[in-house]
Structure 1
Amino acid sequence: RRPANKRFMRLPKNLADFENYVFQTVSRYKDRLKYWEIWNEADIDFWHGTDEEYIQLMQAAYRVAKRADKDCLVSMTGLAYPFPTKTRTGRPSDGRLFLEKCLKLAPNEFDLINWHSYGGLKPLERKLQETNELKRQYNCAKPVWITETGAPTHLKGVTEQEQARYVPQAYALSLAAGVEKVFWHCFHSWGQDPNYNEHHFGLVRYDCSPKPSFMAYCAMTRKLEGAKAAGEVTVAPGVRALAFERAGQPITVLWSESDRLTTLVKLDRETATLTDMMGNAKPLSAAMQLARLELTPDAVYLEGARIVSAAGQVVTLEPGVTLTPGESRAATLTIRNPLDAQAQGECKLVCAEGWEASPSSVRFDLAAGAGQAASITFTAPRRLAAGRADVGCNVRIGSQQLDGLTAGSLSLAVPIDAPPQAAAIDGAVSEWPAERALELRDRVVHGERRDEADLSGRFWLAADRDALYLAADVRDNWVGNFRRYDQPWVGDAVEFFLDLRPADQLGKADYAEGVFQFFFIPADERTTQPTWLLSKPRTPFSSDLALSSRRTPQGYALEVRIPWRSFGAYAPKPGSAVGLDLGLDDVDIAQATERKAQMMWAGTSRNFVDASGFARGRLALPPSASAPAEPTRVNLLPNPSFEIDLDSDDALTVKDGWREMLADWKDTTGSCLWDRSVARTGRASASIRGVTTHRTWESPPIPVSNDTA
């Protein structure tokens, strides 16, 4: 029973009382219980003493527990294993350091290393690595148990599909690293509060209906119970392949760390079985012992054959091939013989709709392991189709046929020209020319959609010297987003990704400063005005961004204007290249708790953490000086000193809502709205293209009037 007084969270004043409690408890239950954990998460706020005081408590408990039952096993505290931080009591907390102290100060006074892991695979793998490093350092052979791991599916947690994925991934990684036992927290979701994470860790829901994770857990236990780790196999970049042996039979757990990926592996036999994450099995044919695997983040189990080696890419296209619409460009295609003997054959290229390749096939005659390079001229479509197009290939080697392989991808560079003269931010997209549309029709990167009427769209991008413009015409058979303020992807939304980093940083995977992710959400039955959210970077974004949306018979349309000055130092220069991508999120019911489908024009579902998949855009030259420019707007406060950014031909509008008058700003004349509370004279500072000049202004007297029109 937990004492009401929090003083119990320290070393007791009389340690003998605690020793007596441990002795009596272990003695009483020794016929039924053989495993005892000394405290819960003593490395964080469940323990208010020092690390050394906890170790003293553990040593005392270990001695008397063994005296009560020599066959019992005593675990150290279930470490929360935080990375260096401070607890609410101010005590420094470092999981690695806490574990090291236990190994150093009490190496023989516990039987089990025990910790918990939440937050996904990255912290799990870090803890596994650090634990094994410390065991080697201190020559420790004690087993490791993970007595808590899980992933909650509350509104701000993971989706149920992501929870299901975590099950085989976490267990396979842990067992491969030598962990003896892994315990899932927990079987049953014990509450219904959608915002409370502790109510949603279960493999089954509150009403006891199974989540996908329950089926994934069942499949995982059938495959990995009693399995022994046999190392990690190198298959391809971005692929995890963990090998095990069970009852003398090989089994390999594989998944892709990003999205769908096709790779080729060489097996030690020509037949095997492939079982998906939910336990559905199918035979796998391996002609010439070569097996084609289509991998996603949903783990699969390869049984009945060992992966001898990564056959790798039989056909490889040089990376980074980018074309503008209608452009032709030569690129190098490399064909490699993956067999252990001489091989003849032919490679036929399969391009996405609108793309062309010449020649479209290449014959080869290669020695074992040898390669052959060929120059292929690719021509991009004139219409702006998907921003990234895979180059597929069907390869015949001898009498065997390997179809559906992927050589690489081609990128389409988007010309970002001036907006139409008639364009206004009103949600109507009829003035945007069809020939400039970016079409998003079939690149579903997450979830499922029924057809194009369920989810698809067209986009337009434009820019002038003042702003970036985005227009979207979206087909969607149900429009709504009731999570627009916290999780806008759990609803209908347009995602816009923009990489404004310098040329030498452009396209790098990491989300450094200069990479932006926007959500633009149309109005719906609950919210009569569209909204927008800057998801990354998580810093204030000062902007007079304009957004408008309309419902259409097929779905919705929206228009956006983002002033370049909003991006500060990252505002690009005319003619420079930028990274960009456009996406659609979709749900079909108001009560949705996870995204039904996501589409991306160029990248993947990991765009939110990986900027390497963005397409390229190039800004056109700015319009002529005679083009109309929207005036800079500022609020003139009672303090008459202020600083504004002006172009030399900009109009200055000071908006305070009282009465319109003209004021002479020497070489800048503008329309000013003065408030009667504003001082009549003063000194103003204006920054024009980075050059600051000081000007004195004086307004004529304003008659006092009750007319506030």
Structure 2
Amino acid sequence: MARQLIYHTLVMDLDVIGYYAGVLANYGAHLGQNKPLCDYDATPYPWGSTFGCLGTLMADAELVEEVPLGSTDRLAFIFRSGGRLAAVTYATNTSYNDLHWRPAARELKGVTLACPAGSVEVRDMYWNEVPGLKWSRGRLRLDLDEEPLFIFNKRLSPAAFADLFRKAGVAPVPLALSFNPVTDGAGRVNLRLAVANNSGRDQAGVKVDLRPSAGVPLRHSPLSIAGLWLAPRLVEVGTIRAGETAVVEVPTAYEARLPLEMGYLRGVVTAAGGAEYAGEDYLWLLPAPVAAAAPKADGDLAEWEGRPAAWLAYQRHFNFSYRWEQFLEGEENFGYPSYTLDGRVAFWAAWDKENLYLAARCDDDQPLAGPGEKVRVRLAVAGGRERWLELVPGPTGRLSAALDGKGLAGAGMKLEAQAVKLEAAVPWRELGLAAPAAGQVLTFDLFWTDLDREQGKLYSGTMHWAGGSRTGGRLILAR
């Protein structure tokens, strides 16, 4: 309830908070999805007290900005209330907010803020002063959990106060788990598990549990919604020396001919002595089969549309309980309310020895409603630098294509009543790959900026494909 109220008052900036957070009394029935704040006999529930307390405290709060919490994927919301500058954060305050979903990591130990002693005051989620704060060498140390923690500014400038969170130090996870798709010599896709030992001492008996939660006595539950291609198993890793990383490859049943989107994975790392840590990621995989013949970059997608496409569309809209990380800009214009932006993109990839071929169909009821509509693609070969392909369609049917600002000749478009169709051929030499081969994996993501006009006003928004991924999407050169 506390996190929901913070989200409603700051992110959504709702005028009438109570309507969305719960009904005051039960009236003999639980109706809809609202949580009643009182039991049948009018006894307040615990979340009812939180609603009344925090809702009152945050009633006049106005969001100033949201800033990253150091190098983590967490956020801090900076706001003003009663003339004071303050911030709120918690261990699960990620940019892909879902109040019905508990992420794997629910604690952040050893968060440090560089500020002089007494320059800020720290309060709990009911704004009671937190006792026993410790400053050391000009740094305040905090341990975050799922309960919101408020930090009030006392004598820092607004810029210095925001920098506290942008430059926050965070202790590394003692046993950190990451996932990475790779291919073997036969072209099959394996999942590479990397466990980094940041604990400062050797860890024996390390295991990664990928089994479902039923019957597994763990505080964190392993979970996969990546489909049946990943068999549940307990992976033996063994001993990992302090400061080292162990890597284990797990075979999968994934067929590199179908896109895999938003494949959530959570594994639990355990070690002798009872240590337990969870790691998670979203997998986004785009297969690129060998092109039988080089596609002509003219915007005619007949040679593409018979194949399974990857999709960029807002499956979870920006509303009172969700904020999905696929939204980058103008997220309030997608979904309910107001359905102002309603487009989607289907896209494909293929390759041969000379080029990487990309095609996209941008479905839109108002194609090219204003300047600024474009598709951007992030590409990187293994060991290479990140490259950006930008495709800007024009109302006359001319496509402006550039790779890192350098014009690209092999590109074309076709403008239709409710779609813009794009094609591009990117030479491998421009990507720094001399000898492409089946099984190679590239970093890949696609971004689309859409503009629509409603009631005389122009609205814009940007989405990207590989939302929630810590490592980015992947493009696999298939056979």
Structure 1 length as normaliser, TM-score?
0.35
- The structure with the larger Rg is 1
Q: Looking at secondary structure, tell me which structure has more helix per residue.
A: 1
TM-score (norm 2): 0.48
